[in-house]
Amino acid sequence: MGDENETTLKRTPLDALHRAHGAKMVPFAGFDMPLQYAGGIIAEHRATRTGATLFDVSHMGQAAIRGDSPLAALEALVPGDLASLPVGGMRYTQLTNAHGGIVDDLMVTSVGEDYAFVVVNASRREADFALLGAGLDRLAVEELDRALIALQGPRAAEILVPLAPGAEELRFMSAAPFMVDGSAIAISRSGYTGEDGFEISIPAQDALRIAERLLQGGATLAGLGARDSLRLEAGLCLYGNDIDETTTPAEAGLGWSIGKRRREEGGFPGAEIVLAQLREGPVRRLVGILPEGRQPVRAHAEIRNTSDERIGEITSGGFGPTVGGPVAMGYVASAFADPDTAVTVILRDRPVPARVVKLPFVSHRYFKKH
Protein backbone atom coordinates (compact mmCIF):
# COMPACT_ATOMS: atom_id res chain seq x y z
CA MET A 1 0.00 0.00 0.00
CA GLY A 2 2.95 2.34 -0.58
CA ASP A 3 2.75 5.60 -2.49
CA GLU A 4 4.40 4.00 -5.47
CA ASN A 5 1.54 1.57 -5.73
CA GLU A 6 -1.18 4.13 -5.21
CA THR A 7 -0.09 6.32 -8.10
CA THR A 8 -0.55 3.43 -10.52
CA LEU A 9 -4.00 2.49 -9.25
CA LYS A 10 -6.90 3.38 -11.50
CA ARG A 11 -9.71 5.49 -10.10
CA THR A 12 -13.38 5.04 -10.89
CA PRO A 13 -15.65 7.88 -12.04
CA LEU A 14 -17.06 7.97 -8.47
CA ASP A 15 -13.68 8.43 -6.78
CA ALA A 16 -14.48 11.95 -5.52
CA LEU A 17 -17.73 10.72 -3.99
CA HIS A 18 -15.92 8.02 -2.01
CA ARG A 19 -13.37 10.46 -0.63
CA ALA A 20 -16.06 13.02 0.25
CA HIS A 21 -17.85 10.33 2.29
CA GLY A 22 -14.82 9.27 4.31
CA ALA A 23 -14.13 6.02 2.49
CA LYS A 24 -11.26 3.81 3.54
CA MET A 25 -9.70 3.17 0.14
CA VAL A 26 -7.89 -0.06 -0.70
CA PRO A 27 -6.20 -1.41 -3.81
CA PHE A 28 -8.42 -3.98 -5.49
CA ALA A 29 -7.80 -5.54 -8.91
CA GLY A 30 -5.75 -2.52 -9.98
CA PHE A 31 -8.28 0.04 -8.78
CA ASP A 32 -8.38 2.27 -5.73
CA MET A 33 -11.70 1.14 -4.25
CA PRO A 34 -13.76 1.92 -1.13
CA LEU A 35 -13.52 -0.90 1.43
CA GLN A 36 -15.97 0.86 3.74
CA TYR A 37 -17.19 4.33 4.68
CA ALA A 38 -17.32 6.00 8.08
CA GLY A 39 -20.16 3.86 9.47
CA GLY A 40 -18.35 0.56 9.00
CA ILE A 41 -19.00 -2.73 7.26
CA ILE A 42 -21.66 -4.07 9.63
CA ALA A 43 -23.78 -0.91 9.38
CA GLU A 44 -23.46 -0.93 5.59
CA HIS A 45 -24.40 -4.61 5.48
CA ARG A 46 -27.50 -4.02 7.61
CA ALA A 47 -28.50 -0.97 5.57
CA THR A 48 -28.47 -3.17 2.46
CA ARG A 49 -30.74 -5.77 4.07
CA THR A 50 -33.20 -3.20 5.45
CA GLY A 51 -32.96 -0.11 3.21
CA ALA A 52 -30.97 0.54 0.08
CA THR A 53 -27.26 1.00 -0.52
CA LEU A 54 -25.19 2.14 -3.44
CA PHE A 55 -22.04 0.23 -4.40
CA ASP A 56 -19.52 1.50 -6.91
CA VAL A 57 -18.62 -1.54 -9.01
CA SER A 58 -17.10 0.43 -11.87
CA HIS A 59 -13.94 -1.65 -11.59
CA MET A 60 -15.81 -4.49 -13.28
CA GLY A 61 -15.24 -4.95 -17.00
CA GLN A 62 -18.11 -4.01 -19.28
CA ALA A 63 -18.09 -4.86 -22.97
CA ALA A 64 -20.36 -4.70 -25.98
CA ILE A 65 -20.31 -7.65 -28.34
CA ARG A 66 -21.75 -6.70 -31.71
CA GLY A 67 -22.29 -8.64 -34.91
CA ASP A 68 -24.27 -11.55 -36.23
CA SER A 69 -25.99 -13.59 -33.45
CA PRO A 70 -23.56 -12.84 -30.62
CA LEU A 71 -25.41 -15.03 -28.13
CA ALA A 72 -25.18 -18.14 -30.29
CA ALA A 73 -21.48 -17.41 -30.85
CA LEU A 74 -20.86 -16.96 -27.13
CA GLU A 75 -22.23 -20.44 -26.47
CA ALA A 76 -18.95 -21.82 -27.86
CA LEU A 77 -17.22 -20.32 -24.80
CA VAL A 78 -19.73 -20.79 -21.97
CA PRO A 79 -22.13 -23.51 -20.77
CA GLY A 80 -25.11 -21.18 -20.27
CA ASP A 81 -28.15 -21.39 -22.52
CA LEU A 82 -27.84 -17.99 -24.19
CA ALA A 83 -29.49 -18.64 -27.57
CA SER A 84 -32.91 -18.77 -25.91
CA LEU A 85 -32.40 -15.46 -24.13
CA PRO A 86 -34.99 -12.88 -25.24
CA VAL A 87 -34.00 -9.26 -25.83
CA GLY A 88 -33.80 -7.69 -22.38
CA GLY A 89 -32.94 -11.01 -20.75
CA MET A 90 -29.84 -11.44 -18.62
CA ARG A 91 -28.05 -14.66 -17.73
CA TYR A 92 -25.30 -15.75 -15.35
CA THR A 93 -22.73 -18.08 -16.89
CA GLN A 94 -19.01 -18.95 -16.87
CA LEU A 95 -16.15 -18.89 -19.33
CA THR A 96 -14.61 -22.36 -19.10
CA ASN A 97 -11.25 -23.85 -20.06
CA ALA A 98 -10.55 -27.19 -21.74
CA HIS A 99 -10.65 -28.95 -18.36
CA GLY A 100 -13.99 -27.45 -17.44
CA GLY A 101 -12.30 -25.03 -15.02
CA ILE A 102 -13.79 -21.57 -14.65
CA VAL A 103 -11.81 -18.79 -16.36
CA ASP A 104 -14.34 -16.26 -15.07
CA ASP A 105 -18.00 -15.95 -14.21
CA LEU A 106 -19.97 -13.27 -15.99
CA MET A 107 -23.34 -11.74 -16.74
CA VAL A 108 -24.58 -11.69 -20.33
CA THR A 109 -27.47 -9.46 -21.41
CA SER A 110 -29.25 -9.58 -24.74
CA VAL A 111 -29.53 -5.95 -25.80
CA GLY A 112 -30.69 -6.72 -29.35
CA GLU A 113 -30.44 -9.33 -32.10
CA ASP A 114 -26.94 -8.18 -32.93
CA TYR A 115 -25.81 -6.80 -29.60
CA ALA A 116 -24.89 -8.54 -26.35
CA PHE A 117 -23.58 -6.81 -23.23
CA VAL A 118 -21.26 -8.59 -20.80
CA VAL A 119 -19.99 -7.74 -17.33
CA VAL A 120 -16.87 -9.56 -16.09
CA ASN A 121 -14.72 -9.53 -12.97
CA ALA A 122 -12.15 -6.74 -12.70
CA SER A 123 -9.33 -9.16 -11.90
CA ARG A 124 -10.08 -11.24 -15.01
CA ARG A 125 -10.83 -8.63 -17.63
CA GLU A 126 -7.62 -9.11 -19.59
CA ALA A 127 -7.93 -12.89 -19.71
CA ASP A 128 -11.62 -12.60 -20.57
CA PHE A 129 -11.30 -10.08 -23.35
CA ALA A 130 -8.43 -12.06 -24.87
CA LEU A 131 -10.63 -15.17 -24.81
CA LEU A 132 -13.67 -13.34 -26.17
CA GLY A 133 -11.63 -11.63 -28.88
CA ALA A 134 -10.10 -14.91 -30.04
CA GLY A 135 -13.26 -16.99 -29.67
CA LEU A 136 -15.62 -14.55 -31.36
CA ASP A 137 -13.59 -13.67 -34.42
CA ARG A 138 -16.60 -12.64 -36.52
CA LEU A 139 -17.82 -10.25 -33.84
CA ALA A 140 -16.62 -6.91 -32.52
CA VAL A 141 -15.80 -6.97 -28.78
CA GLU A 142 -15.49 -3.45 -27.45
CA GLU A 143 -14.67 -2.68 -23.84
CA LEU A 144 -16.86 0.18 -22.64
CA ASP A 145 -15.70 3.14 -20.58
CA ARG A 146 -18.72 3.28 -18.32
CA ALA A 147 -19.38 3.41 -14.63
CA LEU A 148 -21.34 0.60 -12.98
CA ILE A 149 -23.23 1.11 -9.77
CA ALA A 150 -25.32 -1.38 -7.85
CA LEU A 151 -28.34 -0.13 -5.90
CA GLN A 152 -29.28 -2.95 -3.55
CA GLY A 153 -31.88 -3.56 -0.89
CA PRO A 154 -35.64 -3.65 -0.29
CA ARG A 155 -35.94 0.11 -0.84
CA ALA A 156 -33.94 0.11 -4.10
CA ALA A 157 -36.97 0.30 -6.38
CA GLU A 158 -38.65 3.20 -4.58
CA ILE A 159 -35.38 5.18 -4.78
CA LEU A 160 -34.64 4.42 -8.42
CA VAL A 161 -38.12 4.78 -9.92
CA PRO A 162 -38.42 8.60 -9.56
CA LEU A 163 -35.28 8.85 -11.73
CA ALA A 164 -36.14 6.00 -14.06
CA PRO A 165 -39.92 5.53 -14.24
CA GLY A 166 -40.71 2.01 -15.43
CA ALA A 167 -37.71 0.40 -13.73
CA GLU A 168 -40.17 -1.14 -11.27
CA GLU A 169 -41.45 -3.34 -14.12
CA LEU A 170 -38.11 -5.10 -14.56
CA ARG A 171 -38.09 -8.65 -13.25
CA PHE A 172 -35.03 -10.24 -11.66
CA MET A 173 -32.42 -10.93 -14.36
CA SER A 174 -33.84 -8.60 -16.98
CA ALA A 175 -32.59 -5.28 -18.30
CA ALA A 176 -33.69 -2.24 -20.28
CA PRO A 177 -32.31 1.10 -21.50
CA PHE A 178 -33.46 4.31 -19.79
CA MET A 179 -32.85 8.03 -20.25
CA VAL A 180 -32.06 9.80 -16.98
CA ASP A 181 -31.29 13.54 -17.10
CA GLY A 182 -30.31 13.20 -20.73
CA SER A 183 -27.95 10.33 -20.01
CA ALA A 184 -28.44 6.95 -21.73
CA ILE A 185 -28.14 4.35 -19.00
CA ALA A 186 -28.81 0.62 -18.88
CA ILE A 187 -30.57 -0.81 -15.85
CA SER A 188 -30.81 -4.46 -14.91
CA ARG A 189 -32.60 -6.01 -11.96
CA SER A 190 -29.73 -7.96 -10.52
CA GLY A 191 -26.99 -7.83 -7.93
CA TYR A 192 -24.61 -9.64 -5.64
CA THR A 193 -26.26 -9.28 -2.24
CA GLY A 194 -29.27 -11.65 -2.32
CA GLU A 195 -31.56 -8.63 -2.06
CA ASP A 196 -33.79 -7.01 -4.63
CA GLY A 197 -31.89 -4.35 -6.50
CA PHE A 198 -30.47 -2.96 -9.69
CA GLU A 199 -27.19 -2.65 -11.51
CA ILE A 200 -26.88 0.55 -13.50
CA SER A 201 -24.40 1.10 -16.31
CA ILE A 202 -23.78 4.82 -16.86
CA PRO A 203 -21.54 6.84 -19.21
CA ALA A 204 -18.53 7.71 -17.05
CA GLN A 205 -19.05 11.49 -17.15
CA ASP A 206 -22.66 11.21 -15.85
CA ALA A 207 -22.03 8.72 -13.05
CA LEU A 208 -21.32 11.16 -10.22
CA ARG A 209 -24.49 13.16 -10.89
CA ILE A 210 -26.73 10.09 -10.98
CA ALA A 211 -25.11 8.53 -7.91
CA GLU A 212 -25.70 11.75 -5.99
CA ARG A 213 -29.36 11.74 -6.98
CA LEU A 214 -29.73 8.19 -5.65
CA LEU A 215 -28.11 9.26 -2.38
CA GLN A 216 -30.48 12.24 -2.16
CA GLY A 217 -33.32 9.74 -2.70
CA GLY A 218 -32.33 7.87 0.46
CA ALA A 219 -29.65 5.37 -0.56
CA THR A 220 -26.48 5.19 1.53
CA LEU A 221 -23.01 4.12 0.41
CA ALA A 222 -21.60 0.65 0.95
CA GLY A 223 -18.13 -0.64 0.09
CA LEU A 224 -16.34 -3.82 -0.87
CA GLY A 225 -16.36 -5.12 2.72
CA ALA A 226 -20.15 -5.21 2.92
CA ARG A 227 -20.34 -6.49 -0.65
CA ASP A 228 -18.31 -9.51 0.44
CA SER A 229 -20.25 -10.25 3.64
CA LEU A 230 -23.57 -9.85 1.78
CA ARG A 231 -22.65 -12.16 -1.08
CA LEU A 232 -21.26 -14.75 1.34
CA GLU A 233 -24.53 -14.83 3.32
CA ALA A 234 -26.34 -15.10 -0.02
CA GLY A 235 -24.16 -18.11 -0.92
CA LEU A 236 -22.85 -16.44 -4.08
CA CYS A 237 -19.42 -17.45 -5.40
CA LEU A 238 -16.50 -15.03 -5.43
CA TYR A 239 -14.11 -15.56 -8.32
CA GLY A 240 -10.60 -16.27 -7.06
CA ASN A 241 -11.94 -17.65 -3.77
CA ASP A 242 -14.75 -20.12 -4.42
CA ILE A 243 -14.23 -20.63 -8.12
CA ASP A 244 -11.17 -20.50 -10.36
CA GLU A 245 -9.51 -22.36 -13.22
CA THR A 246 -9.20 -25.51 -11.08
CA THR A 247 -12.88 -25.73 -10.12
CA THR A 248 -15.72 -26.64 -12.46
CA PRO A 249 -19.29 -25.29 -12.54
CA ALA A 250 -20.53 -28.74 -11.45
CA GLU A 251 -18.26 -28.79 -8.38
CA ALA A 252 -19.20 -25.20 -7.51
CA GLY A 253 -22.91 -25.98 -7.46
CA LEU A 254 -23.53 -23.90 -10.56
CA GLY A 255 -25.30 -26.67 -12.45
CA TRP A 256 -28.49 -24.59 -12.27
CA SER A 257 -26.87 -22.16 -14.71
CA ILE A 258 -26.45 -24.88 -17.36
CA GLY A 259 -29.74 -25.42 -19.19
CA LYS A 260 -31.16 -28.71 -20.44
CA ARG A 261 -30.25 -28.08 -24.08
CA ARG A 262 -26.63 -27.31 -23.24
CA ARG A 263 -26.43 -30.46 -21.12
CA GLU A 264 -27.59 -32.46 -24.12
CA GLU A 265 -25.56 -30.66 -26.76
CA GLY A 266 -22.38 -29.67 -24.92
CA GLY A 267 -20.24 -27.57 -27.24
CA PHE A 268 -18.38 -25.44 -24.68
CA PRO A 269 -14.76 -25.85 -23.48
CA GLY A 270 -14.44 -28.80 -21.11
CA ALA A 271 -18.02 -29.90 -21.79
CA GLU A 272 -17.22 -33.62 -21.56
CA ILE A 273 -15.79 -33.22 -18.08
CA VAL A 274 -18.44 -30.84 -16.76
CA LEU A 275 -21.37 -32.80 -18.19
CA ALA A 276 -20.02 -36.10 -16.85
CA GLN A 277 -19.74 -34.49 -13.41
CA LEU A 278 -23.31 -33.24 -13.65
CA ARG A 279 -24.55 -36.73 -14.61
CA GLU A 280 -22.50 -38.78 -12.18
CA GLY A 281 -21.84 -36.25 -9.44
CA PRO A 282 -18.51 -34.47 -8.93
CA VAL A 283 -15.98 -35.86 -6.45
CA ARG A 284 -16.12 -32.66 -4.41
CA ARG A 285 -18.73 -30.00 -3.90
CA LEU A 286 -18.91 -26.42 -2.74
CA VAL A 287 -21.11 -26.30 0.37
CA GLY A 288 -22.11 -23.93 3.12
CA ILE A 289 -20.21 -24.40 6.39
CA LEU A 290 -21.65 -23.11 9.64
CA PRO A 291 -19.03 -23.06 12.43
CA GLU A 292 -20.17 -23.39 16.04
CA GLY A 293 -19.51 -20.47 18.33
CA ARG A 294 -18.66 -16.95 17.28
CA GLN A 295 -15.19 -17.14 15.83
CA PRO A 296 -14.94 -16.71 12.05
CA VAL A 297 -13.05 -19.27 9.99
CA ARG A 298 -11.26 -17.95 6.93
CA ALA A 299 -10.32 -19.04 3.43
CA HIS A 300 -7.75 -21.89 3.21
CA ALA A 301 -8.65 -23.38 6.60
CA GLU A 302 -8.66 -27.17 6.41
CA ILE A 303 -11.95 -29.08 6.75
CA ARG A 304 -11.82 -32.52 8.40
CA ASN A 305 -14.39 -35.24 8.99
CA THR A 306 -15.19 -36.52 12.46
CA SER A 307 -12.40 -39.12 12.08
CA ASP A 308 -9.94 -36.24 11.72
CA GLU A 309 -9.23 -36.91 8.03
CA ARG A 310 -8.84 -34.03 5.61
CA ILE A 311 -11.93 -33.74 3.38
CA GLY A 312 -11.58 -30.23 1.97
CA GLU A 313 -10.85 -26.57 2.47
CA ILE A 314 -12.70 -23.36 3.26
CA THR A 315 -12.76 -20.98 0.26
CA SER A 316 -14.64 -18.03 1.80
CA GLY A 317 -15.31 -17.35 5.43
CA GLY A 318 -16.12 -14.48 7.69
CA PHE A 319 -18.69 -12.93 9.93
CA GLY A 320 -22.26 -12.70 8.68
CA PRO A 321 -23.89 -9.66 10.27
CA THR A 322 -27.43 -10.80 9.38
CA VAL A 323 -26.77 -14.36 10.56
CA GLY A 324 -25.12 -12.86 13.63
CA GLY A 325 -22.18 -15.23 13.56
CA PRO A 326 -19.55 -16.87 11.41
CA VAL A 327 -20.45 -18.21 7.96
CA ALA A 328 -18.28 -19.94 5.39
CA MET A 329 -18.20 -21.88 2.15
CA GLY A 330 -15.77 -24.52 1.07
CA TYR A 331 -15.20 -27.65 -0.96
CA VAL A 332 -15.70 -31.04 0.67
CA ALA A 333 -15.50 -34.57 -0.71
CA SER A 334 -18.99 -35.38 -2.01
CA ALA A 335 -19.60 -38.05 0.65
CA PHE A 336 -19.62 -35.21 3.19
CA ALA A 337 -21.67 -32.70 1.22
CA ASP A 338 -25.11 -33.50 2.62
CA PRO A 339 -26.67 -30.84 4.85
CA ASP A 340 -26.16 -31.43 8.57
CA THR A 341 -22.97 -33.46 8.10
CA ALA A 342 -20.74 -32.82 11.11
CA VAL A 343 -17.23 -31.59 10.22
CA THR A 344 -14.42 -29.71 11.91
CA VAL A 345 -12.54 -26.71 10.61
CA ILE A 346 -8.93 -26.28 11.70
CA LEU A 347 -8.44 -22.79 13.02
CA ARG A 348 -4.82 -22.07 13.96
CA ASP A 349 -4.23 -25.75 14.90
CA ARG A 350 -7.46 -25.95 16.89
CA PRO A 351 -10.50 -27.92 15.64
CA VAL A 352 -13.73 -25.91 15.49
CA PRO A 353 -16.91 -28.02 15.25
CA ALA A 354 -19.07 -27.07 12.27
CA ARG A 355 -21.73 -28.51 10.05
CA VAL A 356 -22.53 -28.54 6.38
CA VAL A 357 -25.58 -26.42 5.57
CA LYS A 358 -27.65 -25.70 2.51
CA LEU A 359 -26.87 -22.38 0.86
CA PRO A 360 -27.79 -19.56 1.09
CA PHE A 361 -27.40 -18.56 4.73
CA VAL A 362 -29.85 -15.70 4.20
CA SER A 363 -32.80 -16.25 1.82
CA HIS A 364 -32.73 -14.42 -1.48
CA ARG A 365 -35.38 -11.76 -1.90
CA TYR A 366 -35.22 -11.19 -5.63
CA PHE A 367 -38.08 -9.52 -7.48
CA LYS A 368 -39.91 -12.16 -9.51
CA LYS A 369 -43.31 -11.24 -10.90
CA HIS A 370 -45.85 -14.00 -11.30
Partner 1 sequence: MNDLKYTREHEWVRMEGDVAVIGISAFAQEALGDVVFVELPEIGKSLKAGDQAAVVESVKAASEVYAPLAGEVVGVNEALNDDPSTVNSDPTGKGWFLKMKPSNPADFEALMDEADYRKFAEEQG
The site for partner 1 (CB under 8 A) is made up of 24, 35-36, 40-42, 45, 225, 228-229, 294-296, 298, 318-319, 321, 326, 348
User: Between residues 61 and 326, which has the closer beta carbon with respect to partner 1?
Assistant: 326
* Count of CB atoms situated within 10 Å of the CB of 219: 25
User: Between residues 197 and 321, which has the closer beta carbon with respect to partner 1?
Assistant: 321
User: Between residues 75 and 228, which has the closer beta carbon with respect to partner 1?
Assistant: 228
User: Between residues 53 and 96, which has the closer beta carbon with respect to partner 1?
Assistant: 53
For the chain, what percentages of helix, strand and coil (3-state, to nearest 5) are there?
Answer: 25, 35, 40
| Torsions phi, psi for 304 (to 5 deg) | -120, 160
Instruction: For 254-314, give the DSSP string.
Output: -GGGS-HHHHHH--STTHHHHHHHHHH--SEEEEEEEESSS----TT-EEE-TTS-EEEEE
d(CA 320, CA 231) in angstroms, rounded, equals: 10
Q: What angle do CA 186, 192, 198 make, to 5 degrees?
A: 30
User: Between residues 300 and 368, which has the closer beta carbon with respect to partner 1?
Assistant: 300
User: Between residues 53 and 188, which has the closer beta carbon with respect to partner 1?
Assistant: 53
CB of residue 2 vs partner 1: minimum separation in angstroms? Answer: 12
Peptide bond before residue 360 is cis, with ω within 30 degrees of 0: yes
Strands 31-36 and 24-28 come out as: antiparallel
| Torsions phi, psi for 130 (to 5 deg) | -65, -45
CB of residue 298 vs partner 1: minimum separation in angstroms? Answer: 6
| Torsions phi, psi for 302 (to 5 deg) | -75, 140
d(CA 18, CA 55) in angstroms, rounded, equals: 10
Of residues 119, 141, 263, the one with CA closest to residue 190 = 119
User: Between residues 267 and 293, which has the closer beta carbon with respect to partner 1?
Assistant: 293
Of residues 344, 363, 364, 341, the one with CA closest to residue 354 = 344
CB of residue 11 vs partner 1: minimum separation in angstroms? Answer: 20
CB of residue 7 vs partner 1: minimum separation in angstroms? Answer: 17
User: Between residues 70 and 318, which has the closer beta carbon with respect to partner 1?
Assistant: 318
CB of residue 49 vs partner 1: minimum separation in angstroms? Answer: 14
Of residues 174, 178, 227, the one with CA closest to residue 206 = 178
CB of residue 296 vs partner 1: minimum separation in angstroms? Answer: 5
